[in-house]
Structure formats: structure tokens, C-alpha cells
A = this chain, B = another copy of it.
Amino acid sequence: MDFKEELKKYQKQINQELEKYIKKQECPEQILNQAMEYSLNGGGKRIRPILTIATYQIFKQDIKTCFPYAIAIEMVHNFSLIHDDLPGIDNDDFRHGKPTNHKKFNEATAILAGDGLLNEAYGVISKDLKNSNPEELQKKIKILEEFSEAINRMIAGEYVDTKMEKQKITKEQLTYIHQNKTAAIFKISIRMGAILAECDDKQLEKLTNYADKIGLAFQIRDDILAEEGNEEILGKPVGKDKELGKCTYVSQYGLQEAKKILNETIKEAIQQTEEFGEKAEFLRQLAIYIQNRNK
């Protein structure tokens, strides 16, 4: 399997699907819609929706079933980025090498664009529920409930992260932040694909563990990149976490130890996918991609 080719194929599928949800008509709130689109098409890697689809494909091939859920989780991800970047929270000026939403538009627009994306995510799911057969509803309503709980966890994680800035925190608190802020969304992305594909409970558990591990690994890699990444490739300033006195895996464990934990976490993630054989090869490669990513 050529991982990079596969990744590009998935990204293209998601971008094409997203296009259908972008509102282009003239209306008084046109610029608000543009602000939502600006973030949605702002150069994200689409990892979360890809996780949904790639997980589904371990079991089934009609990936259209996944699309609304893949789109919804990408909207939620972008909502969280817009709000996290706001002056009142992380006060970031750049993301993916471009001005953040409130820098490109203004603060009011960015707040409302974030709100709009969170709400629209539920709009997409509600339309899918409306168009579903009665026998599909049970699993989809289960997903809706988990989806909302995952976002709840993400918001809580972001809150604790913000509150703990410049404070000395324990390793347990750091793990709490990462598990909530990042891993909860990775987990729901994967669980949505697995539940839609109707895998059994044991398989769901393995995939959930995989999600937990790569979610944590993603955040550790983020912390490493914030310390020693290349600003140009990364598209945002490096060294800001340190400057802000932010608690990260690097500040807590040191750079070398953080890298060691990252590598171990990826190894554990890959182990969880073994029973799925060749069909989970993409997920394994994706774990390695997360381990080594430069942006």
C-alpha cells in the first residue's frame, strides 16, 4: 500500500464531500459563511474524518454511509480550532501558515463562525437521521450521543488546558488534558466508523484503544513540534508554548523522554490493530505518519 497515495485519495474524497456543505449563496450573513469556509478549507490534514472512513473500511466498503459523520467531525474540529485561537484563549495569529480566523475576519465573526460550525455538525447528522431507515436509527442515535459526549470532553480538556497555563501541573493533569482535548475526538472519529460498520464489541474495544493511543501520540508530537518544529513547514510560530509557560509533554518529561513515550505509544497503537490483518494496514501507517509528522 502506498500510504501517501491512499492519504491523498481520502483527503480528496473528504474535500469533495465538504464542498457540498459549503454555503455559497448571497445572503446577509455571507461573510459569516465565508469565515466558516475559510477554516474548513484552511489546509487541515483531515485526519479525523479519515479515521472514520478508514475504520469503516476495515469491515465494509460502501463508505457513503460514513460521509455525514466524517464531515460532522471535521466541522467540530474546525470549530475548536477557531475558538482556541481567539485572543481570549490561546491568542494565536497563524494556523497552517495563514492568519487565524479572527485575524482574517474579526473576533465577533470568528466566535460566531465557530458556533456555526459546531451547530452545523449537528445539522449534518440530523439530516442523515431523517434520511435513515428505521433499522439504522439505533446505532446512529448511539453515535449521536457519543458524539456529543466527546465534544463535551474536548471542551473540558481545552478549559483545563487554559486554566493550567503558567501553573505547575502533575503528569496526571497533563494526561487528563490530552485525553480530553485531543484523544476524545480521535476516539469518537474511530468509534463512529466502527459502530456504523457494526463490528462486534471486542473489535470496538481494540479500535477504541488504538484511537486512545494515536490521540495521545498526536498531542505528544504536537508538543514536540511546538518545541523543535520548522516554523515554515508548521505554518505557525515555534517556541510559543515555552514562552507562555505552557505545560506540555516536553516541559513535563523533557524532549528526549517525550520522544521515547511517543514511540512507545505508537507501538502500542499498532499492536491493537494486529487482529484486523491487512485491512488495518492504513491505520498502522497512519500511526507511523502521526509519529513522524512535521506539520
Contact = CB atoms under 8 A, between A and B. Distances in A.
B130 A142 contact: yes
Interface string A146-161: 0111011001101110
A163 interface: yes
A105 to B, nearest CB: 10
B160 A28 contact: yes
A120 interface: yes
Interface residues of A, number: 51
Contacts of A277: none
Contacts of A93: none
A26 interface: no
A87 interface: yes
B156 A28 contact: yes
Nearest to A89: B108
Contacts of A28: 156, 160, 173, 176
Interface in A94-128: 102, 106-112, 114-116, 118-120, 122-123, 126-127
Nearest to A86: B111
B119 A152 contact: yes
Given A89-B111, A122-B122, A134-B134, A145 B162 contact: no
Given A29-B159, A115-B118, 14 more contacts: A27-B156, A31-B163, A89-B108, A112-B162, A114-B115, A115-B115, A118-B119, A120-B152, A122-B122, A123-B145, A123-B152, A126-B147, A134-B137, A137-B141
